[in-house]
A and B are shown apart, each in its own frame.
Chain A
Amino acid sequence: MQKPTSKPTTHNALSATELKTLRLKANEIRRWVIEMVFSAKSGHIGGALSIADVLSVLYFKELNVDPKNPNWDGRDRLALSKGHASAAYYAALALRGFFPKEELLTFRKINSKLQGHAYKGVPGVDVSTGSLGQGICVSLGMALAAKMDGKKHRVYAIIGDGECDEGSVWEAALNAPFRKLDNLTVILDRNEFQNDGSMYNILDTGSMEDKFSSFGWNVISIDGHDMQQIVDAIEEAREAKSKPSVIVAHTIKGKGVSFMENNGSFHGKPPTEDEFEKAIAELDEARSKI
């Protein structure tokens, strides 16, 4: 397991109440992920659980969005480039009030808006994604458009770890610093797993901090499950001038459910009934301790 190479400076310490809210929301997102994938008998749990804390911070603290007016022009944009983490994304959007939570259980079922991969027809989703290595390119276009128009909103992209095997990620990585897209924050969910298992058995991509740094990015390395660090990183990225920022969020695939953690078999496989019940029990117990 890699560790964060540094720690961002805290300028705004989370109050106990704020911290509690963010943890509760992350726990709810995780619980919904399990419910949704179990109900659909299909979906990607591991990479949804690893990004739940980041999504909690984005939707319950940092993103400037309006659930009542999802297409408001001044909103921050987000491209979930790792579109298979859709369950966590939809759960975060529903919890934030973009659409009723009841709809979450239609995930991946016929006639539902909640398509298997992030879908623009869902209120709050800015771009459909799924095939890897695309959302990051789209986010560059969104950031460039905002720059051209002098608009102040930020653009975020969440990219996966295995996704970084795709060449198009690096086309985008070359372009963003050259165009000085400092209104862009890419969050890399560095969980060290990909579809077929551990990246160390498939394609060890080494230090992402070094790679993005050498491409000219402002690199912030964090523990992607530490709420304060996530907040600090997003706020630090917002202050960066003339460079795009990448937050390398070191995470644990399957985070929050003990037997799913660092277990590659829960990448794209739904839980059995027994596993489902155990997972929900664990998450409920964790919730009672927050």
Chain B
Amino acid sequence: MNVESQRVAYGEELAKLGEKYKDLVVLDADLSTSTHTYMFGNKYPDRFFNLGIDEQNMMGMAAGLALSGKLVFASTFAIFATGRAYDLVRQSIAYNRANVKIVVTHAGLTLGEDGATHQMLEDISLMCGLPGMTVIAPADAPETRRVIHAVTEMDGPCYVRLSREKVPSILEDRQFKIGKGIIVEDGADVSIFSTGITLNIALQAREELKKTGVSAAVLHMPTIKPIDKEMIITSAKKTGRVITVEEHSIYGGLGSRIAEVLGENYPARLQRIAVRDKFGESGKGWELLEKYGISSNEIVRHANEMMG
């Protein structure tokens, strides 16, 4: 299986879409070599603006460009887009329903060595709270390409969360539709829901569980808002046991959203795997996930506990 970078996929896809979409404008806040928006900038210098380290101004300008008819992509690290510039995203973009695609990279613990100050763990929570904001976390590079294409076709603000680390291209041949989950592997005993790049961890856990005769379904939820309620309920009805995994805070991420759906519709046994009220730290991305319990071992442990 290919191991690819979501960021490179993003940059390449943008550069490709620039040809078709003449109104596509890309903004970055001095991180374009990391987010890979520079790939678009090299091809379309007249439609690429590296604004300097001013995320608030970037989000405001993004709104102004969008309200003037431009299809705007605004990129930086997750921490700065949703933390530093939150109020501008809320008032100038979301409240005005400006057609801005906020595509961030370096989300979560897998940002790695830069440590807690740059590891954004509450962005899904912040963005899901904004009325009308679509929130998407693709699992790998091929899905990132499809997501970027899909959000250009949709009207209204959205948030796309990418990670720094290269990840296996699991979803090479799978369709992406905003608001729809993907049954990556079917199973009868436990449903493992994942969003973003933790999909490969969920699949590893499935393989481990198989060895002891536990049949796990692996469901990828690229869209966290609007969430695919039907898939959650159907799968919970089938297996009766639900585990969620994500590189995000335990508060307000995929696990919270699934707990809400189950609580209101079909209460089922649920175990959430996420960062439990902690800041991150420096280290290699995958080591950090392991240390903070975002791991296949943890999924297996919880699944076995549930199986009793």
Contact = CB atoms under 8 A, between A and B. Distances in A.
A138 B46 contact: no
A175 B57 contact: yes
Contacts of A134: 56, 60, 87-88, 91-92
B226 to A, nearest CB: 23
B115 interface: no
Nearest to A119: B95
Interface string A134-155: 1111111111111011000000
Contacts, number: 97
B64 A142 contact: yes
B67 A138 contact: yes
Nearest to A157: B64
A136 B54 CA distance: 13
Contacts of A130: 91
A127 B46 contact: no
Interface residues of B, number: 28
Contacts of A179: 49
Interface of B is mostly: helix
Given A127-B96, A128-B91, A131-B91, A137 B57 contact: yes
A127 B96 CA distance: 7
B68 A145 contact: yes
Given A148-B46, A167-B56, A175 B64 contact: no
A174 interface: yes
A159 to B, nearest CB: 12
B25 A148 contact: yes
B60 A140 contact: yes
Interface size class for chain A? 20 to 34
Interface in A71-95: 77, 79
A130 B95 CA distance: 11
B57 A145 contact: no
B103 interface: no
Contacts of A241: none
A268 to B, nearest CB: 19
B47 A140 contact: no
Given A128-B95, A134-B88, A174-B52, A145 B64 contact: yes
B263 interface: no
Contact of A128 (B46, B68, B96): B96
Interface in B85-144: 87-88, 90-92, 95-96
B61 interface: yes
Contacts of A137: 56-57, 59-61, 63-64, 88, 92
Contact of B96 (A120, A144, A145, A172): A120
A144 B69 CA distance: 12
Contacts of A133: 56
Contacts of B52: 171, 174-175
A120 B68 CA distance: 13
A229 interface: no
B219 interface: no
Interface in B51-77: 51-52, 54, 56-57, 59-70
A72 to B, nearest CB: 13
A130 B91 CA distance: 8
A168 B56 contact: yes
Contacts of A139: 64
Interface string A116-133: 000010000011111101
A96 B52 CA distance: 39
A136 B25 contact: no
Best-surrounded residue of B47, B60, B87 (most CB of chain A within 10 A): B60
Contacts of B51: 175
Contact of B47 (A135, A148, A168): A148
A141 B54 contact: no
Interface of A: 77, 79, 120, 126-131, 133-146, 148-149, 167-168, 171-172, 174-175, 179
9 contacts: A120-B96, A127-B96, A128-B96, A140-B57, A141-B62, A141-B67, A171-B56, A175-B51, A175-B54
Leading 5 A-B pairs by shortest Cβ distance: A141-B64, A137-B60, A145-B68, A171-B57, A141-B61
Given A141-B65, A148-B47, A175-B57, 15 more contacts: A127-B96, A134-B87, A134-B92, A136-B60, A137-B63, A137-B88, A138-B61, A140-B60, A141-B62, A143-B64, A145-B25, A168-B56, A168-B60, A175-B52, A175-B54
